Structure 1
Amino acid sequence: MSDKTINRVAKATPRRLARKVRGLSDRAITWIFVGPTIFLLLAINIFPLIWTINLSFTNFKANRINRAVDYIGLRNYERILTDGDIWLSMQATAHFLFWTIFFQVLIGFTLAWLINRKFKGNDIWTTIIVLPMMLSPAVVGNFWTFLYQPQIGLFNYVVAFFTGADPSSFEMLGSVDLAPWSIVIVDTWMWTPFVMLICLAGLRSIPDYIYEAAEVDRASKLRQFFTITIPMVMPFLMLAVLFRGIENFKMFDLVVQLTGGGPGSTTELASINLKREAFEKWRTGYSSAFAIILFVTVFGLASIYVKALNKVKER
């Protein structure tokens, strides 16, 4: 900004305001600009968390506002930790997390490695592969529901082609054994491009002179892959696992669109169980305690994982 512009602004500023601004320190001016943001963060994030913690110690029900609210201590937490259905939903969530992350990392890294070879038309293929990630989960859920239909579903005909079975003789979403895998397939199809982009950024961040030095030392391609590529891409892989793990732990919309997440089913994840307790049974205090347990679980695991990620970066 030129001196002329500064002088014009100074002359246009009212004298009272100019005196007040001159009397403020740099720290005061900083708080004037940062203060509203901090207030919004407290109002949007911190206050609901504190209110949820407070409700978790009560028997409050949102559909009975006029009912007297009693503080029952840790009774909600005791019921949750001793509820067999809760542990089954946590087990289903762990199963879903492990397999979705496993396939997404494996396929995503493979696609990133192939695209990084810079063949002709790789930009077009990158755009095509990324398309599923740009769709809404509700659209993806409805789309794959039609593919899984036993009579008209294209997916069943593809499976029948390779197995020789009658496509109308089985229903993937209706099978207790296959329903969880149907969700794993859809989530992998949708979010593998996200992992691919992160891995591709990691691969393209590796300097070419490292591979050139390895070739001078007569290192084979396989040795270069395991001693250069994997160690240098590992922080990006771990970052992708962190992002997808947090997102899939609270997976809700895609599962409901595909299976409905019915009670007692193998697709009843922890997030769906939480929704049922809060908005179907209206056990607000109980569901608040459940939400706090899930929050502490995710926060604790993520903190441990971030420490491991930082150690990998320091190597």
Structure 2
Amino acid sequence: MSDETTTGAAPRLSVRLARRLGGLSDRAIAWLFVGPTVFLLLAINIFPLIWTIRLSLTNYRANRANADVKWVGLRNYERILTDPDIWNSMQATAHFLIWTLALQVLIGFGLAYLINKKFKGDNFWTTVIVLPMMLSPAVVGNFWTFLYQPQIGLFNYGVAFLTGADPSSFTMIGDVDLAPWAIVIVDTWMWTPFVMLICLAGLRSIPDSIYEAAECDRASKWRQFWTITVPMALPFLMLAVLFRGIENFKMFDLVVQLTGGGPGSVTELTSITLKREAFEKWRTGYASAYAVILFVVVFGLASIYVKALNKVKER
């Protein structure tokens, strides 16, 4: 085929396409472009959810694909809600969520407030603070496991120096009471920079004219902080809490790297229990019911929280 024929066919094809699209409404053209994306989202998100709900009503086991599948109804949900081990993992997850969010919000907002003052070298210190969140959870888990070692762990020697205890007899990972706090410390160290960046964006979005007007009214720095800084940065702070809350609710890899999250452990979070039921005990139907319950809990709490966030934004 000659070049002239090829170059002539392209304009004719574009003219035909333009004529066809010209006969469609704006709504039809919009669905023509959005339709494939909507179909892909339904295939990736909605279908697995419906399939999981279906499996949760059966006794299906993934390692026995050829076995007869029995319909058990809501029996899996009843067993989950009456299982004390499930409630213990829920309690461990709640403990982890509350303390990590509290520490990350306080430290992250404090760091953002200090860096927002724009002192000499603030860009350098911002880069240094952000470094932990750039690392993978596997690297962070191995790094802090080394720091927590009873014999050579630098963290143990630091605590021993402050308390006067023997560093070889002190361990956080192996101690039942201290193991949850070991995870809280590591997660706070890793993800406080994320909260700091969001809070810093909120602080720098506050116009300087508001502070100038407050100074003209002879408002103290303390009053400016509580009446201007906190209210205007609150939506950004709540957004950071939402992101970190959802991520920490499904925390898995960091906990496994640090403690292993063994059965009945105080560090066995809901995600670890779900993995054990699905891929170690192979109770797929039971694990599917557990996944549905976790989804409803997270979706419900997130929906309530987003409504509260929208009300704060409207003020």
TM-score, normalisation: structure 1: 0.95
Matched AA of 2:40: L
Matched AA of 2:277: E
Q: Measure the CA separation in 2 of the matches of 1:297 and 1:182.
A: 26
Question: Which residue of the partner structure matches residue 100 of structure 1?
Answer: 100
State the 1:221 CA deviation: 0.6
Partner-residue secondary structure (3-state), 2:192:
helix
Question: Which residue of the partner structure matches residue 291 of structure 1?
Answer: 291
Partner-residue secondary structure (3-state), 1:209:
helix
Question: Which residue of the partner structure matches residue 44 of structure 1?
Answer: 44
Q: Measure the CA separation in 2 of the matches of 1:93 and 1:184.
A: 11
State the 1:29 CA deviation: 2.1
Q: Measure the CA separation in 1 of the matches of 2:239 and 2:9.
A: 46
Question: Which residue of the partner structure matches residue 136 of structure 2?
Answer: 136
State the 1:179 CA deviation: 0.3
State the 1:91 CA deviation: 0.2
Q: Measure the CA separation in 1 of the matches of 2:22 and 2:57.
A: 50
State the 1:262 CA deviation: 0.3
Q: How does 1:50-89 map to 2 (within 5 A)?
A: 50-89=50-89
Matched AA of 2:109: F
Matched AA of 1:53: I
Question: Which residue of the partner structure matches residue 252 of structure 1?
Answer: 252
Q: Measure the CA separation in 2 of the matches of 1:197 and 1:64.
A: 48
Q: Measure the CA separation in 1 of the matches of 2:12 and 2:150.
A: 74
- The share of aligned pairs that are identical, in percent, is 82
Closer/same/farther in 2, CA of residues 28 and 9 from structure 1, 3 Å limit: farther
Q: How does 1:181-200 map to 2 (within 5 A)?
A: 181-200=181-200
Q: Measure the CA separation in 2 of the matches of 1:157 and 1:31.
A: 63
Question: Which residue of the partner structure matches residue 3 of structure 1?
Answer: none
Q: How does 1:213-292 map to 2 (within 5 A)?
A: 213-292=213-292
Closer/same/farther in 2, CA of residues 70 and 151 from structure 1, 3 Å limit: same
Closer/same/farther in 2, CA of residues 19 and 140 from structure 1, 3 Å limit: same
Matched AA of 2:129: I
Closer/same/farther in 2, CA of residues 208 and 58 from structure 1, 3 Å limit: same
State the 1:18 CA deviation: 4.5
Question: Which residue of the partner structure matches residue 4 of structure 1?
Answer: none
Q: Measure the CA separation in 2 of the matches of 1:9 and 1:36.
A: 27
Partner-residue secondary structure (3-state), 2:176:
coil
Question: Which residue of the partner structure matches residue 122 of structure 1?
Answer: 122
Partner-residue secondary structure (3-state), 1:118:
coil
Closer/same/farther in 2, CA of residues 18 and 203 from structure 1, 3 Å limit: closer
State the 1:14 CA deviation: 5.5
State the 1:17 CA deviation: 3.9
Question: Which residue of the partner structure matches residue 33 of structure 1?
Answer: 33
Q: Measure the CA separation in 2 of the matches of 1:222 and 1:19.
A: 66
Question: Which residue of the partner structure matches residue 160 of structure 2?
Answer: 160
Closer/same/farther in 2, CA of residues 17 and 118 from structure 1, 3 Å limit: closer
Q: Measure the CA separation in 1 of the matches of 2:12 and 2:139.
A: 54
* Residue segments in structure 1 that go unaligned for 5+ positions in a row: 1-7
State the 1:74 CA deviation: 0.3
Matched AA of 1:122: D
Question: Which residue of the partner structure matches residue 5 of structure 2?
Answer: none
Matched AA of 1:218: R
Question: Which residue of the partner structure matches residue 150 of structure 2?
Answer: 150
Deviates more, 1:32-41 or 1:191-200: 32-41
